[in-house]
Structure 1
Amino acid sequence: MNALPESLLPLAFPELRTERLLLRRFQPSDLENVFRGLSHPDVINYYGVNYTSLEDTQTQLDWFWENERRQTGIWWAVCSADNQLFYGAGGLSSISLAHKKAEIGFWLLPEYWGQGIMPEAMPLIFGYAFGPLGLHRIEGLVETENEICKKAVRKLHFTHEGTMVDCEIKNGRYISLDIFAKLNDAR
């Protein structure tokens, strides 16, 4: 199993907390939970990656750590406050410090859907993005057919900016992506 890389982020890897949640750095021991999520048909239906084996899933953990090392992304394992339950993942990809923006992403294991976990976790990530990282804009690209995710980002006060029609191919057909954005209100 791969060792954790050293972080090159401006600060030590931030552990974020609420009364019931812990957002922490991914560990090698998270491999099976990431596989459970990113192989589950309900999770991957609108997600950009999926895996069919633990070995293949290791590439996802490596991707989390490599993006952190290169300062192009930061992803957290979303867990119970006591770190006993793994709920899913949330984070920032395509970080551009020059343009002060990033893309948000998240997924949860289906047994935790509808329990208010992401609405509780996402403001922690926004606080880190708009605070220590100094970002101004967080973007969310959502498949047009993914009504659940669009509802979630609207609840998080993202603004719908438009639709990129037939901009990607998935499973042999063109899909469209809705563009949502949240700006730092504290400027």
Structure 2
Amino acid sequence: MNWVGSKVSTQRLSLRPIQDQDLQHIYRGLSDPKVIKHYGVSFSSMEETKEQMDWYRKLIENKTGIWFALELKESNEFIGAVGLNDIKKEHRRGEIGFWLLPEFWGSGYISDAVPKVLEYGFRTLKLHRIEAWVETENEKSRKALTKLGFQYEGTLRDHEFKNGRFISVDILANIVDNFV
């Protein structure tokens, strides 16, 4: 499996493994109230964000995932991140996640990037199943995933406690047989 140095691109985007120099970008995104409203991770300081950077490194070291910085091809501007984590080699499955800086929402960048990550997961990492765990209230992410071939499998009611209340999480999945 090729984990490090993997770079892929679409017509509009470059996807490269997240690096230490992305710290400011990761902090900017994962401290933005709009981004973290439906996201499971948030940071209130650069120090906390450094722990996230360690997590990205450990994913690669342990071969349990890889996250990519999303950059506009024309300008190399950082716009968000997408990746695979929680990879279970023995079960040939993993989990996909993504986020964009708000000024890039609604431009189809997730629809561009996710197929490349699915291709990487299914073809390079030889996964059979890729799951997405989405807060039930996050209709936009659920719709985007459905358009990308993910199928709704169920809802875990009151699965997580966030911001003083229980939230439910939908599970969607894509399997290699459905990937074209």
Task: Specify the alignment match of 1:70 in structure 2.
Answer: 62
Aligned residue type for 2:122:
F
Q: Deviations over 1:25-61 (max 9, x none)?
A: 1122211111110000000001111111112211111
Which among 91, 102, 106 is matched to residue 99 of structure 1? 91
Q: Deviations over 1:61-120 (max 9, x none)?
A: 111111111111110001112562001000001001110100010000000001111100
TM-score w.r.t. the length of structure 1 is 0.91
Which among 64, 79, 104 is matched to residue 71 of structure 2? 79
Which among 166, 182, 185 is matched to residue 174 of structure 2? 182
Give unpaired runs (5+ residues) of structure 2: none
Q: In structure 2, what is the Cα distance between the partners aligned to 1:105 and 1:13? A: 20
Task: Specify the alignment match of 1:30 in structure 2.
Answer: 22
Give unpaired runs (5+ residues) of structure 1: 1-8
RMSD (Å) for aligned C-alpha atoms: 1.5
Structure 1 residues 73, 57: CA separation in 2 closer, same or farther (over 3 Å shift)? same
Aligned residue type for 1:164:
L
Tell me by how many angstroms 1:175 deviates.
Answer: 1.0
Q: How many residues align?
A: 179
Task: Specify the alignment match of 2:101 in structure 1.
Answer: 109
Tell me by how many angstroms 1:10 deviates.
Answer: 4.1
TM-score w.r.t. the length of structure 2 is 0.94
The answer as to 2:50 corresponding to 1:50 is no
Q: In structure 2, what is the Cα distance between the partners aligned to 1:168 and 1:19? A: 37
The answer as to 2:8 corresponding to 1:16 is yes
Q: In structure 2, what is the Cα distance between the partners aligned to 1:176 and 1:68? A: 29
Percent of residue pairs bearing the same amino acid type: 47
Q: Is the 8 A contact 2:29 2:80 kept in 1?
A: yes
Aligned residue type for 1:57:
T
Task: Specify the alignment match of 1:4 in structure 2.
Answer: none
Structure 1 moving runs of 4+ over 3 Å: 9-12
Tell me by how many angstroms 1:172 deviates.
Answer: 2.1
Q: In structure 2, what is the Cα distance between the partners aligned to 1:108 and 1:138? A: 20
Q: In structure 1, what is the Cα distance between the partners aligned to 2:142 and 2:103? A: 20
